[in-house]
Structure formats: structure tokens, C-alpha cells
Amino acid sequence: MRSRLALVPALAVAAVVALAGCSAPAPDPGAVDLDPSATEDPSGPDATGGGCLIGTWELDGQRNAEQLQESFAANGASITSTTADGSVTLTIDDGTMTYDSDITYTMSGDLGGLALTVEQNQAGSSTGNWSEADGLVTFSDWETGIVVNNVVTVGGTATELPIDLPQDVGGGTQMAVTCSGDSLETKAVESPFTGYWSRVG
């Protein structure tokens, strides 16, 4: 399954770029997925066999929002502010990962002189099996329960997105992970975004 972590930023980029009619290409739907478990791969201390990954981790959603804002700026999108509210938790045991999410990214900017707001919520729970080899984590038997909802307002009026956003695209994307003590960084092979996690259990 692909990186559920990379999903929200990539979908948000696709939504706003399409809405604003920017020339920058939307992210490849095959490169994003709601499978957050793909967010870990042991490559730090005690990484062999994934020992460092075992536990409960909380995502730094605001750092995701900052990367998303940087992506908008690089693509020329007229988004001036991106914030995150809510939480994402990753629970990992010897063979299973469970991803619990209720996070909303709010993107604000200007569209032809009108105020533009995009609120994207990723909520639900997904779980599946994981294994590690050669510093990469792969996944199997993933059960997806994540739903992505978007609310777009232009000039104070709700509007429909002009594109269909992928809700979940399975494909077994591997994740490169750096795990050390209470800090974890995850990055899907095909994603430009890095997830930053703190151990909470």
C-alpha cells in the first residue's frame, strides 16, 4: 500500500493546482495513498528487523503543512497560508501497523481576487502487515478505512473541485525510514514529502 502519510499533502497540491488552473502538474495519483503504515522503515539505531519502530508514534502535522506550503510556492499556486489541526497516530507491533487519523489541512489564498479556502480532512483507521528488508518497509493485507473529504470556498461560496481526488491507491510502495530513539522520519519512495513522528508510547 502506498504512503498514507504522503497522501494529504499530495492531494492538497492536486486540488489547489487544479482549482487555480496553475501550469504545474498535479502529483501522480499512483505516488500517493492513504496507507500510512508505509511510513516506517528501520534505518536508525536498532533498525535491523524494525525494532526501533515498535511503539506508538504521533505525526507532526504542522511540519507536513509547512512542506505543503513550500510545494505551493514552488508550483506558483496563490496559497499564502497552510495549517494543520488534529492528529495522526501510528501504532506498530512486531508484524502489524495501524494508522489512526483525524487531521484537517486548511489552505488559504487568492483566486482571481477572491478569497480561496480549501479544507481537507483525512479521517479513519487503516491497518495491515509490514516487513523490513534492506532498509525499506513493505506492506501486505492492508485494510483501508481512511476517508478524504474536501471543502472548497471561493469568495465565501462553497464550490465543487474540478477533479476527482483518489481516495486510496494501493500498490505496495516502499517507505524509507530513519528511526532513532523517540524520533522517526518516514518517506515514501515516490513522495517528495517527509513525515516527522514523535514516540508517544
SS (H, E, C) 129-166: EEEEECCEEEEEEEECCEEEEEEEEECCEEECCCCCCC
Per-residue tens of pLDDT for the chain, all 201 residues: 333 434 445 555 555 444 443 322 222 222 222 233 333 333 333 443 468 899 999 999 999 999 999 998 888 888 999 999 999 999 999 889 899 999 999 999 988 889 999 999 999 998 889 887 776 888 888 888 888 888 999 988 888 766 554 544 334 467 888 889 999 998 887 788 899 999 999
| Predicted TM-score of the model (pTM) | 0.74
Compute the distance between CA of residue 81 and CA of residue 100 in angstroms, rounded to an integer. 26
What are the extents of the domains in the chain? 4-199
Q: Are 77 and 16 in contact (CB under 8 A)?
A: yes
pLDDT at 198: 96
pLDDT at 167: 45
Compute the distance between CA of residue 103 and CA of residue 86 in angstroms, rounded to an integer. 4
Give the pLDDT confidence of 140-193 residue by residue, as tens digits.
888 888 888 889 999 888 887 665 545 443 344 678 888 899 999 988 877 888
Compute the distance between CA of residue 124 and CA of residue 168 in angstroms, rounded to an integer. 12
pLDDT at 28: 27
Instruction: Cite the beta strand spans of 60-135 per DSSP E.
Output: 79-92, 96-111, 114-133
